[in-house]
Amino acid sequence: MTKVDLITGMLGSGKTTFIRKYAEYHLGKGSRIAILLNDYGAVNIDMVMLKDLECDRCEVSMVVGGADADCHKRRFKTQLINLGMQHFDRVIIEPSGLFDMDEYFDTLYESPLDRWYEKGSIITIADPFSDDDLSDEIKFIMGSESSCCGSLIVSKLKGDEPSSVTKNLTARLNSSLEFIGCRRRFSVSDMIARPWDKLTDEDFQKISSSGYRNESYTKLYNRDTLSTRVHYFMHVHIPEDHITGLVKDIFTDPSCGKIYRIKGSLQSGNGSWLRLNATPATMSLTPADDGQAVLIVIGDELDLSSINDHIRPLNTDPEYVSI
């Protein structure tokens, strides 16, 4: 049977970066793998980031969001059927940051998937530098996505952080678990907390065999009742020296909403691509082999008009559209 691993984590926590390293480990062991990006949105910039992994032993595909939760679940199942018929050794699923854990478990129990797949590991990526001031919705997402994991991987560490960094993360996770009525609690010893370039084959073997836990919690929200939303701004062409200022202005303008992440890809003046990944605390703008002219803004109570007011004066592409 094909093992299925689920990589969960908050928006901007580093799921895609970890998947690259995790996939490279399995490819190095000679496995045939597939990566399934399961997103409610219309554009998946993470697929662009992972496309270069494709080879005769690695397929990268995605589920595009449906009109409603049932439609999305059908598309998710259809993609799993397609991959199941190809008999991969392992399928690695990266869900949207707004993911229903019940959908994952329920789908794998359905026929014919229950004959082709066995659950592997649930791996949660946790950002220790995220905002401590969490809304109830973010507490719900953080708690529900970490509740069942077999491995908890701390992201964005350089190796010289004080011990208080992981202690604060532990407190934040446990507060979220308590908020959703889950009995599970984490300690620092439960985490893999070191720079990812220091992870060894032994670490990845331990992660890939860590399994998952059956934990219950109160389902306080669903996809339709969450105010956390994603807006897409396409055909964006902004001078490179204005990108950083634009992103900071959107983050700090309260009329835009409470924003957790801005990501995307933009072209520089010489036609090469730049990959953007930003949170309120950090921002990276790095060269990329290819891309798609899009900005993706994720947050609570987003105001499309206010964000547009920041982008339009700088954008030179006449086909600009926002949804």
pLDDT digits (tens, 9 = 90+) for 7-31: 998 877 888 889 999 999 999 999 9
SS3 225: coil
Phi, psi of 105 (to 5 degrees): -65, -45
Q: Give the containing element (helix H, strand E) for 102.
A: helix 101-108
pLDDT of residue 265: 86
Split at pLDDT 50, 70, 90, the class of 44 is: low
Amino acid at 273: W
Is the pLDDT reported for residue 95 higher than 90? Answer: no
Is the pLDDT reported for residue 46 higher than 70? Answer: no
Q: Which residues pair with 276 in a beta bridge?
A: 264, 285
CA–CA separation, 323 and 313 (whole Å): 18
Split at pLDDT 50, 70, 90, the class of 132 is: low
CA–CA separation, 46 and 155 (whole Å): 17
Instruction: Tell me which DSSP letter residue 289 carries.
Output: S
Place of tokens 């306080």: 220
Per-residue tokens: 211: 């399994």
pLDDT of residue 65: 60
pLDDT of residue 102: 72
CA–CA separation, 83 and 136 (whole Å): 36
Instruction: Tell me which DSSP letter residue 293 carries.
Output: B
Split at pLDDT 50, 70, 90, the class of 68 is: low
pLDDT of residue 45: 57
pLDDT of residue 141: 87
Handedness of CA 50, 55, 60, 61 (dihedral sign): positive
Split at pLDDT 50, 70, 90, the class of 67 is: low
pLDDT of residue 143: 93
Alpha helices in 215-301 (DSSP H): 240-252
pLDDT of residue 37: 87
Instruction: Tell me which DSSP letter residue 136 carries.
Output: H
Q: Taking a C-beta distance cutoff of 8 angstroms, is the pair 194, 161 a contact?
A: no
Is the pLDDT reported for residue 135 higher than 90? Answer: no
Split at pLDDT 50, 70, 90, the class of 317 is: very high
Is the pLDDT reported for residue 96 higher than 70? Answer: no
Q: What is the pLDDT of residues 247-262, one digit of tens each?
A: 999 999 999 998 988 9
CA–CA separation, 231 and 321 (whole Å): 11
Q: What is the pLDDT of residues 203-228, one digit of tens each?
A: 999 999 999 998 999 988 876 677 77
